[in-house]
């Protein structure tokens, strides 16, 4: 009688190694027509969410119309248009007078379906702790049972200084790099070139910030999210940037600011067919060997490499890659215990 197959999550990981399972693209929309278009596109693109939608209160709300814009966001998050439950909201910065109203409107109107709250412009870890505490107090006030995950933008000198501590905060799920505000915070010491496609991958201060954010997230089991590409009409530019962010800098997801950027980001963050095929071959052989070391095509494979190849398969599933039935039945048919 054969023994039951052991799933990779049972064989390879401890609870301390859990990472959030998020789509590789985070699409921002700030005005009502674009918000509704983003939700419709998310619902129509696939049976699962290939990208998150972040409704933007910070840059999207008209001055003087912040409360109405927050209520609109809550209505959209709680509506049937949010088919996959993967809609978050960027609120105003914590010191802003609208922060508390944003959070209260969202948790009261859409707390059960809100995927996350994005907090911008934190000056450091203490300010972010205060913001998270305010969200938690509002959650209790509203009688909301579930904790709402928090994403944060690293775009100030203080946040970059404290990035390791910020990534370690339990409420944090993902950190994003705020390219344009970070460059502006240098008061001209970083030229405008630093915000361009070429400059953001070559200027030493910008590149240093990206690497520190990525490293801090991986050390804390959180997901680093890469910044915008402002050349939004150039699909080759976004594809190039997404490939470099994923392959060179270790980012797990990336911002989109135009619908044309979504598909190139998803494609760039997906593993290529040869990677998927190799990962499946190795993992099936390892599973058959009860996850003991094996020789595969002349190379030693053990649990360290098995973890890598499992991440490849997870990313393939997350980006909507076509997987053979053997992979589906062995690894994705049911949730691992």
User: Mind listing the pLDDT tens digit for each residue in 301-327?
Assistant: 999 999 999 999 989 988 989 888 888
Residue 216 maps to a domain: yes
More confident residue, 288 or 72: 72
Q: What mean pLDDT comes out for the span 251-276? A: 96
Residue 205 maps to a domain: yes
Q: Do 287 and 193 sit in the same domain of this protein?
A: no
Q: Do 55 and 130 sit in the same domain of this protein?
A: yes
Residue 284 maps to a domain: yes
pLDDT at 51: 97
In the annotated binding site for Mg(2+), the residues are 155, 181
The first and second tokens of residue 59, run together, are 């840059």
The model's pTM is 0.91
pLDDT at 20: 87
Residue 16 maps to a domain: no
Q: What mean pLDDT comes out for the span 328-335? A: 76
User: What digits encode the pLDDT tens for the residues 47-94?
Assistant: 889 999 999 999 999 999 999 999 999 999 999 999 999 999 999 999
Residue 100 maps to a domain: yes
Q: Sign of the CA dihedral 123, 128, 130, 135?
A: positive
Nearest to 154 by CA among 53, 223, 51: 223
CATH number at residue 139: 3.20.20.60
Is residue 335 over pLDDT 50?
no
In the annotated binding site for substrate, the residues are 90, 155
Q: Do 265 and 300 sit in the same domain of this protein?
A: no
Q: Do 167 and 220 sit in the same domain of this protein?
A: yes
Q: Do 258 and 243 sit in the same domain of this protein?
A: yes
**Residue 89 sits in which domain range?**
25-269
Q: Do 294 and 152 sit in the same domain of this protein?
A: no
- Final residue belonging to a domain, choices 221, 247, 269: 269
Q: Do 237 and 277 sit in the same domain of this protein?
A: no
Pairing status of strand 25-29 against strand 51-56:
parallel
pLDDT at 3: 65
Residue with tokens 């596109």: 41
- Residues above pLDDT 90, as percent of the chain: 83
- Final residue belonging to a domain, choices 214, 240, 269: 269
Asked whether the beta carbons of 158 and 143 are under 8 A apart, the reply is: no
Q: What mean pLDDT comes out for the span 260-276? A: 95
User: What digits encode the pLDDT tens for the residues 183-215?
Assistant: 999 999 999 999 999 999 999 999 999 999 999
Is residue 98 over pLDDT 80?
yes
Q: How far is CA 22 from each of CA 106, 125, 205, rounded to the nearest angstrom?
A: 21, 23, 28
- Final residue belonging to a domain, choices 269, 285, 301: 269
Residue 2 maps to a domain: no
User: What digits encode the pLDDT tens for the residues 153-188?
Assistant: 999 999 999 999 999 999 999 999 999 999 999 999
Q: What mean pLDDT comes out for the span 321-334? A: 83
Is residue 223 over pLDDT 50?
yes
Q: Do 226 and 307 sit in the same domain of this protein?
A: no
pLDDT at 334: 59
Domain count of the fold of the chain? 2
Q: Do 297 and 255 sit in the same domain of this protein?
A: no
Instruction: Give the Cα separation of 75 and 46 in Å (integer).
Output: 23
Residue 298 maps to a domain: yes
Q: Do 247 and 124 sit in the same domain of this protein?
A: yes
pLDDT at 16: 42
Residue 319 maps to a domain: yes
Mean pLDDT of the chain: 93
Nearest to 28 by CA among 225, 239, 195, 171: 225
Q: Do 310 and 210 sit in the same domain of this protein?
A: no
User: What digits encode the pLDDT tens for the residues 103-162?
Assistant: 999 999 999 999 999 999 999 999 999 999 999 999 999 999 999 999 999 999 999 999
Q: Do 132 and 73 sit in the same domain of this protein?
A: yes
In the annotated binding site, the residues are 90, 155, 181
């Amino acid at each position: 009688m054969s023994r039951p197959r052991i799933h990779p999550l049972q064989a390879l990981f401890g609870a301390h190694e859990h990472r959030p399972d998020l789509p590789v693209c985070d699409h921002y929309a700030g005005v009502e027509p674009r918000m509704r278009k983003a939700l419709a596109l998310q619902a129509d693109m696939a049976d699962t969410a290939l990208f998150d939608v972040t409704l933007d209160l910070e840059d999207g709300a008209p001055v003087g119309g912040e409360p109405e814009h927050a209520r609109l966001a809550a209505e959209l998050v709680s509506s049937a248009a949010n088919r996959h439950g993967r809609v978050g909201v960027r609120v105003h910065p914590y010191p802003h007078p609208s922060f508390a109203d944003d959070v209260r409107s969202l948790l009261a109107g859409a707390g059960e379906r809100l995927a996350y709250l994005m907090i911008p412009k934190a000056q450091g870890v203490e300010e972010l702790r205060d913001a998270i505490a305010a969200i938690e107090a509002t959650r209790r006030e509203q009688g909301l049972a579930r904790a709402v995950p928090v994403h944060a933008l690293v775009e100030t000198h203080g946040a970059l200084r404290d990035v390791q501590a910020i990534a370690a905060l339990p409420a944090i799920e993902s950190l994003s790099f705020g390219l344009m505000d970070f460059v502006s915070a240098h008061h001209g010491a970083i030229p405008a070139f630093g915000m361009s496609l070429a400059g953001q991958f070559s200027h030493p201060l910008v590149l240093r910030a990206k690497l520190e954010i990525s490293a801090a997230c991986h050390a804390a089991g959180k997901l680093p999210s890469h910044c915008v590409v402002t050349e939004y009409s150039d699909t080759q530019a976004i594809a190039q940037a997404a490939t470099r962010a994923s392959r060179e800098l270790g980012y797990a997801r990336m911002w989109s600011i135009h619908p044309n950027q979504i598909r190139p980001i998803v494609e760039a963050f997906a593993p290529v067919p040869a990677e998927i095929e190799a990962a499946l071959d190795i993992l099936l052989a390892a599973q058959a060997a009860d996850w003991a070391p094996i020789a595969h095509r002349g190379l030693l494979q053990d649990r360290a490499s098995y973890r890598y190849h499992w991440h490849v398969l997870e990313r393939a599933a997350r980006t909507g890659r076509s997987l053979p039935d053997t992979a589906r039945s062995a690894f994705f048919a049911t949730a691992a215990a």
